[in-house]
Amino acid sequence: MSLSMPTRRLVRGATSPTTTTLAFQQPSRSISTSPSRPWFWSKKEPSSPTNLKDAITTGNAEARKSLISKLQSRSEAPAIFEDEVAPQQQAVTEKEAAVLSGDQKSSATSGPLTASQKAAQPKTFTRLGGSLVKEALARSVDPDPQARVRWERKIAIRQVKNGTDAYSLEPRLARIARTERSLHSKSPWLPTSVKKLVHLARQIQGKDVEDALVQMKFSKKKMAAEVTTQLKMARDLAIAERGMGLGQGQEGKMEIQRKDGKWMTVGDRSKMYVAEAWVNKGPVRAKNPDYRARGRMFLKESPSTSLSVVLKEHKTLVREHQEREHRRKKQGPWVHLPDRPITAQRAHYSW
């Protein structure tokens, strides 16, 4: 069954939206025909100009410049700390306004500024746009001023309390670090072995710095010259950095007994001595072939060793002597049969 129609124009007219329909009738479905405007019937109409195009083409010169500057400017999202940064920015703007007002007054009185005058003016911004005003840097430099003040007050009270309260006990190590000076010095890796350098370390340990230098001066060991250099460097650092050995410990001569049992006379308590000296094994410097019998080959490793020394003053020797005497007197006289209760006794023989 076919539908006989004169032309497609009549079909489009019959199914056009202008056709009236009753209320109880369903709207008729349009008959499937070819598209109303195929691409080969007519050309595309030019698109309507946008507002941006109108602003660029028809606007005045100032509007075009402002629009172009906005398009070329850097787009930034709002800061997540905007509520915290706003007071700082307001202070910065007030500071800048004061600076600008001062510049305007000076320029009004003295005329335009020269290049040298502009360069001499204080800079309020860095090259990347950061503010140099002190108020803007307060948050990063001192984020919590009240907590800092509380901490400083607490530490000051603690120091005063430990120094003045008779019932407060200052730690022993803290008291020694506060009242005595010392210096630890470590040499670079020396081209020698631990077995060879340890003899020189034992030779200078416990001696005064000057006596140790004399010992190394007349030593026949090859590394004695390196040990002399390290001792001199440690002595100079102790004098320059810690103020040791300046002759400010004149308190009268005193006979003390050292830990090894030898007696010595102490006059200047600021005189330096080698309290400790030890060696450390370092990395292998090189590996050389060692040809053996039957076509075998071993490797000879060239060792490296470092020398560490600790310099202290004779004041430390006096303190150690006094502590030993105090412990000895606190023990009391030796008793062959001390008076103590008898415990763990049996009623019968144990053999």
Q: pLDDT: is 91 or 153 the higher one?
A: 153
70/76 Cα distance (integer angstroms)? 12
Q: Which residues fall within 8 angstroms of residue 299, CB to CB, at 6 or more apart?
A: 287, 288, 289, 290
pLDDT digit string, tens, across residues 250-292: 778 899 999 989 999 998 899 999 999 999 999 999 999 999 9
Distances from the Cα of 133 to the Cα of 22, 83, 93, angstroms: 80, 19, 10
| pLDDT of res. 148 | 87
d(CA 257, CA 317): 9
Q: What pLDDT is recorded for position 257?
A: 93
More confident residue, 63 or 233: 233
Give mean pLDDT, residues 200-211.
96
Compute the average pLDDT of residues 172-196.
93
Mean pLDDT of 5-14: 48
* Residue-level pLDDT at 1: 46
Q: Which residue has the tokens 């709002």?
A: 78
From 151, 229, 167, 193, select the one nearest 306 (Cα to Cα).
Answer: 193
Checking if the pLDDT of 187 tops 50, the result is yes
Among 314, 316, 315, 312, which residue's Cα sits nearest to residue 234? 312
Q: How far apart are CA 30 and CA 18, in angstroms?
A: 13
C-alpha to C-alpha distances, 338 to 49, 104, 330, 334, nearest whole angstrom? 115, 97, 16, 9
The residue that leads in pLDDT, 107 or 62, is 62
pTM, two decimal places: 0.52
Q: Tokens at residue 257, please?
A: 């007994």
